[in-house]
Amino acid sequence: MNGSSGDNRGEMEKRRPGPAAGVRGMVMGLALFAAGIAVSMAWFLRAPSPGPAAESAGPRALSEATKTILQRLSSPVEIRFYSLLNPAIVGESTVGFSSRVDQLLSQYERQGGGKIKVTRVNAVSDAADDAATADGIRAFNLDKGDASFLGVAIVSGSQKQSLPSLAPEWEQALESDISRAIAGVDAADPRPRPAARKADAASLEAVRRAIPNLDSVSVEEGTRMLRAASITQVEKTAWEMQAKITQAEERFIQAHNSQSSAEEAAALKELRQVQKEREAKLGEIAFNSRAQVEALEQLKGAAH
């Protein structure tokens, strides 16, 4: 019996991971976290529509920032939701996205304390097209037949702000865009309400470099070009930063093996700093991508 117990204990000691294995596990965890940043940023820039599982989970709750804006409203706000779509032309992904927008707006209506009214315009007709155009909603798919519209106009008294072209690619930012527009039309909001944020010179120049034939490119096509370039930049940056991360990981393992607590702490700090640098660079790419799309819309708007 005693011999058997000793053998079992010996076998368990062999199976038990040593310090090196623990370090490798920790490094792998940090590396996977860093790699996940790149994947998340690429996902954000592509922003695919959620799958069936995500849709079945129901509408997400509004953020605390949005709830605060709704609680402070001093006057009623109407949200006019234009979803004038031909499923045969726009495809299932756009129809599904429109449905999720509708669910989100219902959340605003429920949380608005009686001050948010959502008017849905989804029956295709000439009158509906004219109303959408009058509210600043941008038509698309003109080359495929009848015009399609997918946007919202937010109105309170004489104040109006429009989100002229909603797209699945920017679904993650939709709530913040709607809430900002609601705050912008609220009479009690002391902040200035510029009609549109003027694009900065760097974004305008970046658009002109990326799209030399700007005059002959539509907003939709130009947006696809800019986002494709951003995704390429994300992938390139991720690979470049991975080399730094790998080197930092190796230094961390060497410091651990040398059994120097000071060197190990310094190496771990360096590894985490490199990961933060990578996250910051990817975040900057996403921010610049959004700014360039807005600059493109401004340039094309000024040309017409």
The verdict on 140 and 208 lying in the same domain is no
**pLDDT score for 286:** 74
The verdict on 77 and 183 lying in the same domain is yes
- Provide the CATH number for the domain around residue 152: 3.40.30.10
Q: Which residues of the chain have pLDDT under 70?
A: 1-60, 187-199, 302-304
Q: Which residues of 246-283 are buried (b: 16+ CB within 10 A; e: fewer)?
A: eebbebbbebbeeeeeebbeebbebbeebbeebbebbe
Indicate the residue type of 284.
Answer: E
* C-alpha separations of 211 from 169, 226, 229, 303 in Å: 20, 8, 11, 15
**pLDDT tens column, 203-234:** 888 888 888 888 888 887 888 888 778 778 87
Please state whether the predicted TM-score (pTM) of the whole model is above 0.85.
no
Task: Compute, in degrees rounded to 10, the torsion defined by CA atoms 143, 210, 275, 17.
Answer: 60
* Number of compact structural domains in the chain: 2
User: Which residues span the domain enclosing 231?
Assistant: 202-302
Q: Are strands 77-84 and 159-163 parallel, antiparallel or unpaired?
A: unpaired
